[in-house]
Structure 1
Amino acid sequence: MSVHDDAASPGQPVGARVEASGPRSAAVRDNSGTIVTGDLHAARRPPLPAPAQIEAPARLLGLPRRPTPWFVGRDEALTLLAATLEAGAGAGVISQAVVGLGGIGKSELALQYAFARRLDYALVWWIDADSPAQLEAGLAALARALVMGSDSVAAGQASPEEASAWAITWLAGRTGWLLVFDNVEEPAHVEPYLARLTSGHVLITTRRDVGWRHLGITPLRLETLPRPASIRLLGDLIGPPHAAQTAVLDELAGELGDLPLALTQAGAYITVTPRCTPAGYLRLLRQVLERMLATTAAGGDAERVVAKAWEVSRVRVAEQNPLAEHLLRLLACYAPDHLPATVLAGAADDEQEVNEALALLASYSLITLTTHPTDPTPTAANHDADDHENSDDQESVSIHRLTQAVIWHQLTTTQRDQTRAHAAELLDLALPADPETRANWPRYLRLLPHARAVTPPGSHTMKKVIDFARASGDYTTARPLQQARYTAQVETLGPEHPTTLSARANLAYLTGEAGDPAAARTLFAELLPIRERILGPEHPNTLSARANLAYWTGEAGDAAAARTMYTELLPSSERILGPEHPNTLTDRANLARWTGQAGNAAAARTMYTELLPSSERILGPEHPTTLSARANLAYWTGEAGDPAAARTLFAELLPIRERISGPEHPTTLTARANLAYWSAQAEARGLH
């Protein structure tokens, strides 16, 4: 049985085992030393600094791009927005929701306001808020940007859940900031965050026009442009119209429903197409067949208008560059915002061809190309929207959600399947091979929304994504993805296939790590008899299920029962796996741990004393498991009433931790804290 390192809490020799996809492998995470209080549920990584310790930046601007210069007809909306957000300054958090149809310009209004008022705030931060996961990720990115300069290790290792909660606490203690939640699907998604904020400004864009008033928000409804503004927008895009053209622009604006998205695409088409006039574009628009429109979009007038403008552009783009049309189909599969352009590089033999196709699409305003820092959480996050000239920057591609919907509805079922499969293949190529290497995590984090959009749950790619989320401690992301993976494998392989059972075991493990040890215990209790029936009571995976049941029983609060289960399991592990197998050593360590937790610190110390020589001989004196055994021996020595000996043991361990893991690694920090704690305990008893 192979053993896969899978993280654990400090001080815990962990029997929670994550099984690999094959039928004969199981995973056991090493343990990492214990904390000073005996609370064995502490974080595995260095904690983020207290929010109060991080000063408000002089200027932190996190906007997705510069606002467009083609912005007309919204002066009144901007005035109303400013009046709402500035009213009652300092009297609590002020929130405003901008609602309206897709393509109406909600996001652009928010961007225009945020950019124009950026000097009025110490911090302006934009969050793509399509889903609760995106909301959490955006707040986590804010936390990392704020913390990075003072504690890069903690910032880089914090889970999204931990970091997002930290960001909200930091904001709640400050004034003079603006937070933008863009494209919120449901008021309930932002309600928990708004409830914790006590100051500052929050700007929300959403298509949902109900459910805001119970949050104390009176939505600002954005309508289509007034006709004079539509004519002016077209004129700004294609050049000032002469008198004869004004009537044509008036007619064209009416045909496009005064919708800013459609007007912008029409203006771009006229501008980049030789000898195309507004009248000529109007004729093309009216030639779009109604039977085509019936298959291009579902929904209301906005969708139909964009579908017509899209069809005109599609024909022209396909004539100029067939690859560009294929890229649009691919972009309809991914999340709409900030796909790294490098993901699409494999769509053609020559990457330059892809770059030319993207530039063509951008010239027609079908996509937006933006330059962002390669690292999503740069040390110097206070970049202005036009400070993107760093050679390490990379280009990202965004596409409007309404354009995505139009493209997708136009495809046949076969085309959708083929395009989604190609999109998933390109994404897999863009993901680093090793999801558990910390240096790869920024890349995974940037691609996570796109992976969730296109990756089949039962695929190897999704396994890599789940492994990243698990390794980085983001169990709230990993668990639902594993649930979908397990469901897919039940449907394709059957409920008792070895791979399905391993997926079931991993789901149980992630359920516990996500904060529900009682549910994890129940899931393993249900899995164990199936393992025993199919594999037999002595199969290694059956032993793994027994170990997991014992571990989560202890985590659920019954240390005595966990101790009993490990007492019964250990002889089987020694006989079947051998007394020196790593899993056997782990079972011995868990028995010691739960014995101590059940109230017998002296027995736990004895067990660790007996375990340590075996671990040193079999795994090596500096193996992580061996060092963890030393840490646990030191801890339970102190708990057994000998703080001076505990102090000595931690004093001997600390320089080894510093040399092997570095001075800021979680295990090093834990050892340092324990040394300080037991030193204080020894001094308090007069033991020098």
Structure 2
Amino acid sequence: MKWPLSKRREKPKAAQPTAGPAGVGASGERSIAIDTGGGDFLGNALTGDNTRVVQLPPEALRPPSEVEAPPGLDDLPLRPGTFVGRTRELQRLDAALSVPGQVVVQAVHGLGGIGKSTLAAHWAATRGARGHAPIRWINADTPADIEQGLADLTTALQPALAHALSVEKLAERALQWLATHTGWLLILDNVSNPADIAPLLARATTGRFLITSRLATTWHQATTVVRLDVLEPAESLDLLTRITTAAGPRNLDGAAELCAELGHLPLAVEQVAAYLAQNPLLTPRAYLDLLARYPATMYRHGAVTTQAERTIARIWNITLDRIATLQPLAADLLRTLAWYAPENIPVTLAAPLADPPTVSSAIGVLSAYSMITPDPGTDTLAVHRLVQAVARTPDHDDLHRTPQGIAQAREQATANLLTALPATWNTPATWPTWRTLLPHIDALADHTAQDTGAPRPASSAAPGTSSPAKACSPAPSDTSNTPSPPANGSWAPATPTP
């Protein structure tokens, strides 16, 4: 293939010499003539397109070690107007004392929406301000964000450098400043890759870092590691009540049930409370009804002040994108686990998805990003109930929740249960297995009936018992309470016979 010929570019003709004062002349493209009056030239002579002059005061040329931080450089985001609970976590952050000549690194990790950034902002504003200056907040999602945050620190310290140095050089100057000063607090919010901040941590020899991240397993070298969990029921109810009634008294019928349905996840409670606040005629119980009938719509929408990327449905999308890139099976596993009870899910229910190394890798990735919580003592997994609910809700606009993908996950969850079920159910030796699986059998049946409209199969509890838990815990001498197999239903065939 021949490339098209381009017209030869003609060389510009040399400019004709021009006579300057006292006979001084200039020739050639972009030439200038300067009359020094017989003395030395002390000044700037510039030529060229878009040429600009930056004049720096002498103090701007001082090395970073000699630059002191003036008052007023703190740049914390707006503090949350409503903050509840977290007493134990705040005390753990307080406990790490700064030591001369040592850097303090604290990490707060947890599920997206659990309140990591809120905790960091509240602590920095109310407790971290004691003895720390300046306090700087850096969004740490990407290396570019971190570099820009460091560059902003330099220009805050020395505004004259804003247009004199590149972002890269400004960031390097900030690193030098941090390495030669103490007393500062740097908050690195939402770190997605520890490698992005490794050079920053390595350069600092004093001061304090407060890191927030969804990653749970990479902070073993930190001074303090805080795992953030959901709010206590009373705390989430307090949060919902404060936001909903900020403009005046409201009918809060169903508020406690709504908080439980949201799994006491702070972000979800805040967003639902804001939605209720802007809809004075809507009670928490009415919201529960809408959530049951239109889950995809309610998870996708929030109040007018809710950012689209921060709605309940989208809060985990970025994490799932990264998880699917690292280990494609992990996203499939999460959708499968969404059909079981949220706690004490036996690892054996994940085994049929792939070979053991791949399944182990998928569990590890989900655990690292706080999407599931493994319990090594019992070989079980836990998934936040709101994560499960969203993962089971089809949405054509979400690649992780296509109707086809969710239907396949439900079928996989059913097949995995059938694989794990004992061949016989009326033998005492099989009762521990039934005791473990019955909550997930019932959950799968409930979710299938609720989320697909299929009829709910008969309860797996034995006749005369009040609950599956009682049914699967019979007294050995009383065979009338032996656990019954799951009833035939749309979600599973009859229990296999030996």
Structure with bigger gyration radius: 2
TM-score (norm 1): 0.36
- Whichever structure has more helix as a proportion of its residues is 1
TM-score (normalizing by structure 2): 0.48
Which structure has more relative contact order (CA 8 Å, sep 6+)? It is: 1
